[in-house]
Structure 1
Amino acid sequence: MATEVLIVGGGPSGLILGLFLADHGIKSIVLEKAQDIVTDPRGVVLTGDALRSLWKLGIGKRVASIGHELRAIHFHQTNIQNRPFLTLNLDEDMMQHALPSTILQSQPRLEYVLREMVMSSEYCTLQSSCEVVDRDEDADGVSVHYKNADGNDCQIRASWLVGADGKTGIVRKHFLEPTAGVKQEAGIFEYDSTWIAANLRINPPTEATHPNFALWDLGYDSNAVYDLFWPQEWHFCRPPGKPTACGRFGPQADHLWRHEFAVPEWEESMDAVKMFWEQLIPMITRPITLPEGTTTPITFPIDCIEILRCRPFRFSHRVVNMWFAGRTALIGDAAHVFPPFGGQGVAAGVQDAEALAWRLAVITKIEHSRQTSSSFRDSLLLSWSLERRVSIDNSARLTLQNGEWCNKEATWLGTFRIAIFKLALNILTPFKVKLPHDVADARGYSSCQGGTFLSAAGGGTKLGQIFVQTYLPGSEHVTIELSDKALRRVPTIMSLLVINSSSQLDDADLRKIFRKYQIHSDILSAESIVHFNFGEFNTQRRTDGKAVSFPAPMHLLNGYPVRVGYDVQQFRQRLDDAQAKSLSDLEDCLKKLEVNFG
Structure 2
Amino acid sequence: MVNNERTTCLVVGGGPAGLVLGLLMARGGVDVTVLEKHEDFLRDFRGDTVHASTLTLLDELGLGERFAAIPQRAMTRMRVQLDAGTAELADMRRLPGAHQHVAMVPQWDFLDLIADAAAQEPTFALRRNAEFTGLLRDGGRVVGARYRDRVDGSEHEIRASVTVACDGRGSAVAAAAGMRARSFGVPMDVWWFRLPRLDNDPSGAALRLSTGHFAVLIDRGDYWQVAYLIKKGSDGPLRAAGIEAFRRRIAGLLPWMSERLAALESFDDVKLLDVELNRMRRWDADGLLLIGDAAHTMSPVGGVGINLAVADAVAAARLLAPALRSGGIVPRALLHRVQRRRYWPTVVVQSVQKLAHRALIAGPVLENAPATVPAGPMPTFDDTVDPKTVAPTSALPLPLRLLQRFPVLQGVPARLVALGPLPEHAPDWARRPEAALRG
TM range (shorter): 0.7 to 0.9
Superposition pairs of residues 72-151 of structure 1, within 5 angstroms: 72-77=77-82, 83-93=85-95, 96-138=96-138, 142-148=143-149, 149-151=151-153
Match of 2:436 in 1: none
Q: 1:68 aligns with which of 46, 65, 73?
A: 73
Structure 1 residue 100: Cα displacement: 2.8
1:440–1:172 distance in 2 versus 1, CA, 3 Å: same
1:423–1:270 distance in 2 versus 1, CA, 3 Å: closer
Letter of the 2:85 partner, please give it.
R
Residue range with higher mean Cα deviation, 434-443 or 351-360: 434-443
Match of 1:391 in 2: 345
Match of 2:215 in 1: 244
Structure 2 contact 88–404 (Cα < 8 Å) conserved: no
1:439–1:161 distance in 2 versus 1, CA, 3 Å: closer
1:45–1:279 distance in 2 versus 1, CA, 3 Å: farther
Which string of whole-angstrom CA distances, capped at 9 and with x for unpartnered residues, describes residues 542-572 of structure 1? xxxxxxxxxxxxxxxxxxxxxxxxxxxxxxx
Superposition pairs of residues 83-482 of structure 1, within 5 angstroms: 83-93=85-95, 96-138=96-138, 142-148=143-149, 149-173=151-175, 175-177=176-178, 182-186=179-183, 190-198=185-193, 200=194, 202=196, 223-224=199-200, 227=201, 231-249=202-220, 252=221, 255-264=222-231, 266-268=234-236, 270-271=238-239, 274=243, 276-283=246-253, 285-286=255-256, 299-300=259-260, 302=262, 309-366=269-326, 368=327, 371=328, 377-400=331-354, 403=357, 404-405=359-360, 408-409=363-364, 419-425=397-403, 429=407, 435=412, 438=415
State the distance in 2 between where 1:133 and 1:399 align: 33
Letter of the 1:258 partner, please give it.
Q
Report SS of the residue matched to 2:216: strand
State the distance in 2 between where 1:304 and 1:73 align: 25
1:440–1:48 distance in 2 versus 1, CA, 3 Å: closer
Report SS of the residue matched to 2:341: helix
Structure 1 residue 103: Cα displacement: 2.2
Report SS of the residue matched to 1:277: helix
State the distance in 1 between where 2:402 and 2:8 align: 52
State the distance in 1 between where 2:275 and 2:290 align: 19
State the distance in 2 between where 1:192 and 1:329 align: 30
Structure 1 contact 14–164 (Cα < 8 Å) conserved: yes
Which string of whole-angstrom CA distances, capped at 9 and with x for unpartnered residues, describes residues 343-398 of structure 1? 111111111111101222122134x2xx56x6xx3333222202211111232344
Letter of the 1:238 partner, please give it.
L
State the distance in 2 between where 1:150 and 1:268 align: 38
Letter of the 2:216 partner, please give it.
A
Please list every run of 5 or more consecutive structure 2 residues that lacks an aligned counterpart in the other structure.
366-392, 432-439
Letter of the 1:191 partner, please give it.
V
Which string of whole-angstrom CA distances, capped at 9 and with x for unpartnered residues, describes residues 300-338 of structure 1? 373599999522221122111111111111122111122
1:271–1:10 distance in 2 versus 1, CA, 3 Å: same
Structure 1 residue 13: Cα displacement: 1.2
Match of 1:38 in 2: 42
1:439–1:266 distance in 2 versus 1, CA, 3 Å: closer
State the distance in 2 between where 1:393 and 1:437 align: 18
Letter of the 1:320 partner, please give it.
M
Structure 1 residue 266: Cα displacement: 1.2
Structure 2 contact 45–107 (Cα < 8 Å) conserved: yes
Structure 2 contact 174–290 (Cα < 8 Å) conserved: yes
Structure 1 contact 10–32 (Cα < 8 Å) conserved: yes
Letter of the 1:385 partner, please give it.
Q
Structure 1 contact 70–233 (Cα < 8 Å) conserved: yes
Which string of whole-angstrom CA distances, capped at 9 and with x for unpartnered residues, describes residues 446-468 of structure 1? xxxxxxxxxxxxxxxx79xxxxx
Structure 1 contact 75–406 (Cα < 8 Å) conserved: no
Structure 1 contact 132–147 (Cα < 8 Å) conserved: yes
Report SS of the residue matched to 2:78: strand
State the distance in 2 between where 1:18 and 1:436 align: 31
Which string of whole-angstrom CA distances, capped at 9 and with x for unpartnered residues, describes residues 144-177 of structure 1? 111113101111111111111111231012x222
1:268–1:444 distance in 2 versus 1, CA, 3 Å: closer
Letter of the 1:113 partner, please give it.
L
Report SS of the residue matched to 1:380: helix
Structure 2 contact 164–288 (Cα < 8 Å) conserved: yes
Equivalent residues, number: 394
Q: 2:57 aligns with which of 47, 53, 56?
A: 53
1:426–1:242 distance in 2 versus 1, CA, 3 Å: closer
Structure 2 contact 195–260 (Cα < 8 Å) conserved: no
Structure 1 contact 342–402 (Cα < 8 Å) conserved: no
State the distance in 2 between where 1:261 and 1:56 align: 36
Larger radius of gyration: 1
State the distance in 1 between where 2:239 and 2:122 align: 48
Structure 2 contact 90–410 (Cα < 8 Å) conserved: no
Letter of the 2:166 partner, please give it.
A
How many percent of aligned residue pairs carry the same amino acid? 20
Match of 2:386 in 1: none
State the distance in 2 between where 1:281 and 1:442 align: 34
